[in-house]
Structure 1
Amino acid sequence: MHDSSVRPSGNPSPSTHQHTIRGGAVSSRPGTASAEAGFASMRTRRAGGATRVLRGLGAWASTVALCIWWFLATLSPADSRPLPSPAEVIAAWTDLNAEGLLWPSIGMSLARVLAGLALGVALAVPAAVLTGATRLGFAIIDKPVHMLRAIPFPALSPLLIIWLGIEETMKVALIAVGVFGLIYVNLRDGIRGLDPKLIELARAYHLPRALVFRRILFRGALPSFMTGLRFAITVSWIALVTCETVNSTVGIGYILSRAQQFSRTDQMVLCIVLYAILGLGSEALVGALERALTPWRGRAAA
């Protein structure tokens, strides 16, 4: 006798079937949520990319507006305005390039700036470390350096000419003097601004000096050094204008001085544009170097 309440095993009960459906629905929800999260992440990345593009375009908006003003302000005849037009500046580029003076001058100016910057940094870093890390170094080095910083470095060019001559050594030394003070002050303040408890903790655990220098001193003072380097590059281009007017036959400053003698305003403006482009390129390189050496600052800002 068969019990009517017993159902065949091949035909699942409605409750079991409903449970299976509910189970399938439940099991499909994580996949849907994952897809929605992926789409949301994609939309966030697109929005972030669009924001970065807009910020980049906004940073150049004032420069584009200035170039448009320059073009509109020089539409009148050349003899009725003191400012050369963009077309005349481009023609000056072509003339100097045909003369064979343009690219050698750019290369020589870059070489002088790099040499002076390297010398200034090489002298300023050990002085700043001694001053920032030791009381004896602070007592011996700090005041003379501040007196040197108070002197306008172009005023030192006559003495440097007497001491070093009028060749390349004087030019590199003048740039190095301008670079030295900025690197020194920023790096010194960065070292003195470190938490002294970190140094005490390192001494308590008897950490090697090389490790303390690398992990605490170097890492903590590096942002201040990069700030000083930014200012130092700007000052090095300013010093270049002064030193290239002394016994130079090549260089952007030489072209500028020669253009002033012959009242070539087109070449003068071209030199100013070259200084601006090279300075902006130097700033971009320092920014890229700073992001590479201090990645934790980018993560903290994000």
Structure 2
Amino acid sequence: MSVLEQIGAVTSSALSSTSASSSSAASSATPASCAAPRWVRRTASIGAAWASTLALFALWALCTRSAPDTRALPSPGEVAAAFVALRDEGVLWPSVRVSVLRVLAGLAVGVALAVPAGVVSGASRIGGAIIDKPVHMLRAIPFPALAPLLIVMLGIGEAMKITLIAVGAFALVYVNVRDGVRAINPGLIELARAYRMPQHVVFTKILLRGVLPQFMTGLRFAITVSWIALVTCETVNSSVGIGYLLTRSQQFFRTDQMVLCIVLYAALGLLSEWIVGLLERLLRTRG
């Protein structure tokens, strides 16, 4: 076995140590003879998720059976009618598209800044001393509180919105990348240096593979925070976006459109989570 293969094998075993320990604990708690097949457990999990979702919608419909003028919460049918009305008005899909683009742009900026900062902070004590404190100070500030300052500095255009989303995503990705670098076995780096392996091999076979699980965890949290930041920034002088539709529906007391905007945020957030989970499984399979 070559040195490169040894490093890959050790790295893979290090990455799977956490999942292996949890799996062994679960298997020791449950006898092998009593364990259900994997497809049965997966089907049961999906069925439980859909059952709870349908139960929530059924409860919603049950609570809105009275006359519209006697309740504040719109029924599912009224929300569906609001969806059709906004679609026919021509503002629904442009708003969804702009909101998604804002989240993607802000998330990309935040990740692009957080990854190198996390690598430097995790690999160097001096880098950690320089970067850690400002980032922890930034994490302690509720990012919606930065909106007024960003408006003064950047105006009320797209730059302010993208910056606010990037600030919300930056700290979460940074912390996870930093911790991922610090968790890498130093012996792997020393082994690579002893055999004078190229830097790109050290980066791809050791650093990248070691940081990837932590990075994906940070990315999951960052996407959630990005959607939260979007709600804040789209309420500031926006003429398009889901947040704009939410503000407009509030001004005209259209609760059906308000609930529709909330449902859209939830659906897009779940879709983002599913995409990240799919990407994580693909990377794990190929790795």
Normalised by the size of structure 2, how large is the TM-score?
0.85
Query: Within 2, Cα distance between the matches of 1:263 and 1:52?
Result: 43
Specify every segment of 5 or more residues in structure 2 that has no aligned partner in the other structure, as ranges: 1-36
Query: Within 2, Cα distance between the matches of 1:128 and 1:63?
Result: 38
Amino acid at match of 2:45: R
Deviation at 1:223, TM superposition (A): 0.3
Deviation at 1:296, TM superposition (A): 7.2
Query: Within 2, Cα distance between the matches of 1:296 and 1:185?
Result: 25
Alignment partner, residue 224 of structure 1: 214
Alignment partner, residue 46 of structure 2: 56
Alignment partner, residue 182 of structure 2: 192
Greater C-alpha Rg: 1
* 1:208 counterpart = 2:198: yes
Deviation at 1:53, TM superposition (A): 2.5
Identify the match of residue 118 of structure 1 among 101, 105, 108: 108
Query: Within 2, Cα distance between the matches of 1:255 and 1:112?
Result: 15
Query: Within 2, Cα distance between the matches of 1:282 and 1:296?
Result: 21
RMSD value, Cα: 1.5
Query: Within 2, Cα distance between the matches of 1:263 and 1:272?
Result: 15
Number of positions where the alignment pairs a residue of Structure 1 with one of Structure 2: 252
Query: Within 2, Cα distance between the matches of 1:52 and 1:148?
Result: 40
Which structure 1 residue ranges, 4+ long, deviate > 4 Å from structure 2? none
Alignment partner, residue 157 of structure 2: 167
Query: Within 2, Cα distance between the matches of 1:222 and 1:214?
Result: 10
* 1:150 counterpart = 2:131: no
Alignment of 1:254-293 (within 5 A): 254-293=244-283
Identify the match of residue 88 of structure 1 among 56, 78, 88: 78
Query: Within 1, Cα distance between the matches of 2:181 and 2:84?
Result: 49
Specify every segment of 5 or more residues in structure 1 that has no aligned partner in the other structure, as ranges: 1-46, 298-302
Q: Which has the higher contact order (CA 8 A, sep 6+)?
A: 2
Query: Within 1, Cα distance between the matches of 2:167 and 2:128?
Result: 20
Query: Within 2, Cα distance between the matches of 1:131 and 1:116?
Result: 22
Identify the match of residue 71 of structure 1 among 61, 69, 79: 61
SS of residue paired to 2:184: coil
Amino acid at match of 1:192: R
Deviation at 1:52, TM superposition (A): 2.9
Among the aligned pairs, what percent are the same residue?
A: 67
